[in-house]
Structure 1
Amino acid sequence: MQDSQIIPQKMRSFRTSRTVAALVLREMSTTYGRSAFGYFWAIAEPAAGIILLTLIFSLALRTPSLGTNFPLFYASGLLPFMMYLDVSGKMAQALRFSRPLLAFPAITYADPLLARLILNGLTQCLVMSIVLIGIIVGFDLDVILEFRFIAASIGMALALATGLGTLNCYLFMRFPVWERVWAIVNRPLFFISGIFFLFESIPEPYASVLWFNPLVHVTGEMRRGIYVTYEGAFVSPAYVYGLSAVSLSLGLLLLRRHYKDLVHR
């Protein structure tokens, strides 16, 4: 009896894996073109843009709040922020992009979300690697990287992007005006997420309010991985993962109940 239940479970898992893999390949072909050069350009373009922004800001702000190299300081805050922004934005559009495919019984509402998380998460990891290696090698910096903190920052950024992206996937389709509101809400995050400053430099009572911005924790964790002398005692992974879990659970619950109505609207 148990064996008869295990076999269908394995078949469903295998079918889901194949479905997600097919959706990832579809995403790559439709978004980046059918050639390998298209995906290479998708990685090189944001990497070059981040490097250019880093160099421009380094001319205006030569003295960083941490370390001696402003491009590295700026990139250590910008890269996890861009990872969150890109992945959450792509996941929020997942069902709208894959609307025709959801008519097939083999494809569930979770498959396009997972496919976009995998593809865009890996893309942003490659962009992050290219930028950091380029800055460290280009400026001949002597840096000791703590990969456990870097991996933790990436995990926090992806968790937050997954949670908010899934919730917004429902909200964008159910309330189209929310997409514009969300875009307005996200604009100040570039300036208040610790990209240009350290959390410790913010005085009270503003620091206590800023602490509730989860991206401050994400950028702080990344800097713990790049600067061995930086403690980042304020960083709370539990807060970020808790907020991500609540957003993800609510988003999945709403999509499970209403995604069929949304895709046929």
Structure 2
Amino acid sequence: MGAFLKAISVKTRIINALFIHSILTEHGKSKIGYLAALAKPLFQIVMLTTMFTFLGRSPAIGDNLVLFLATGIIPYNLCIGLTNKMLQINKSSRNILNNTLATPFDISIAFLLSETVIILISAATILIGLGHFGYWDYRVDSLLGILLITITSIILGYGVGLLNVSVSAIVPSYEKVWKILSMPLFLMSGVFFVADQRFPAEVIAILKYNPLLHIIESMRDSFYRSWESTLFDMGYLLTFTTIALLTGLLMQKLTQKRQRV
């Protein structure tokens, strides 16, 4: 038991050191780097709100365009932002893997923490601010729904990220392929629209296989009292997320030697 606790203590210190290294590498030691990272989602929301207002677009749900876009952009960034961030592991961590006791799994956890902490702080600031101004109600069921879908978004992003890191360790050019494949996701995941209000049944039948669409629909379902998603399927989302995580962990285990090369 003592040996086990000691091993856990050592592993915790390693991950903590990697977490700090990742934060400093990404954002530097100045406050400006952190402020820029925190403001990035807000900047995205403000820019899109300005553009849609200029084009005369109104939100598909409710009467506040900022809230509608925020409930799409934030869960999207949580998932895809983490996935894309983890693709940097093979390039940025080679020296760490070759010169420390750290494993690829340790580094992936550090990346998970460093990426999600910044996004969660920014998201909480934005959503609490919108709630303060009365754009949505703080309700227990709403908060539980938001928490559940936030955790699911992070786990899905982590699982797909692990899978991508493993594949790119075998096929280095895969990173470019993923960037091309993931580009349409921003347009196909419901960030700007509500699928059943925009597309015919034939298109929706295809879009329903996109787990990000379920995540965003669920997030909005938690925010809007007067609207209930007809597409969200928790069973499908949890199944997809579990498979992605387990596959990612298995592939990471199988390719960890390649990640050290």
Answer yes or no: same fold by TM over 0.5: yes
1:55 and 1:71 in contact (8 A); partners too: no
Query: How high is the sequence identity, in percent, across the aligned residues?
Result: 28
Match of 2:28 among 25, 33, 38: 33
* Partner residue in 2 for 1:3: none
The 1:215/1:34 distance shift into structure 2, 3 A limit, reads same
Deviation at 1:78, TM superposition (A): 1.4
The CA deviation at 1:61 is 4.1
Q: 2:134 aligns with which of 110, 135, 141?
A: 141
Q: Take 2:101 and 2:259, find their aligned partners in 1: how far apart are those partners?
A: 18
Alignment of 1:160-239 (within 5 A): 160-201=156-197, 202-239=199-236
Tell me if structure 2 keeps the 8 A contact 1:58–1:71.
Answer: no
The alpha-carbon deviation at position 234 of structure 1 amounts to 2.6
How many residues are treated as equivalent by the alignment? Answer: 257
Give the CA deviation at 1:53. 2.2
Q: 1:152 to 1:233 in 2, by over 3 A?
A: farther
* Partners of 2:153 and 2:215 within 8 A in 1: yes
Once residues 79 and 45 of structure 1 are traced to their aligned partners in structure 2, the CA distance between those partners, rounded to angstroms, is 11
Distance 2:178 2:135 in 1: 40
Q: Verify: 1:114 aligned to 2:106, yes or no.
A: no
Establish whether residue 11 from structure 1 lines up as the match of residue 38 from structure 2.
Answer: no
Give a deviation string over 1:45-89, Cα, whole Å, max 9, x none. 342233222232233243211101122112211111122121111
**Which secondary structure state, in structure 1, belongs to the residue aligned with residue 58 of structure 2?**
coil
Is the Cα contact below 8 Å between 1:87 and 1:158 reproduced in 2?
yes
Displacement of 1:246 in angstroms is: 1.9
CA contact (8 A) 1:23 1:115 kept: yes
Cross-structure match for 1:69? 64
Which 4+ runs in 1 deviate beyond 4 A? Answer: 134-137
Distance 1:17 1:61, change over 3 A: farther
**Is 1:124 the counterpart of 2:119 in the alignment?**
yes
Deviates more, 1:91-100 or 1:153-162: 91-100
Give the aligned residue type for 2:44.
G
Question: Could you tell me the TM-score, scaled by structure 1's length?
Answer: 0.89
Root mean square deviation, CA, Å: 1.9
Distance 1:262 1:119 in 2: 20
Q: Under a length normalisation based on structure 2, what TM-score does the superposition of the two structures give?
A: 0.90
Structure 1 gaps, min length 5: 1-5
Distance 1:135 1:225 in 2: 14
Task: Give the secondary structure class of the aligned counterpart of 1:205.
Answer: helix
**In 2 relative to 1, CA 99–7 (structure 1 residues): closer, same or farther, beyond 3 Å?**
same
1:92-140 deviation per Cα after TM superposition (whole angstroms, max 9, x unaligned): 2223321111124621111110011111111111121233344455xx4
Pairs within 5 Å for 1:32-111? 32-104=27-99, 106-111=101-106
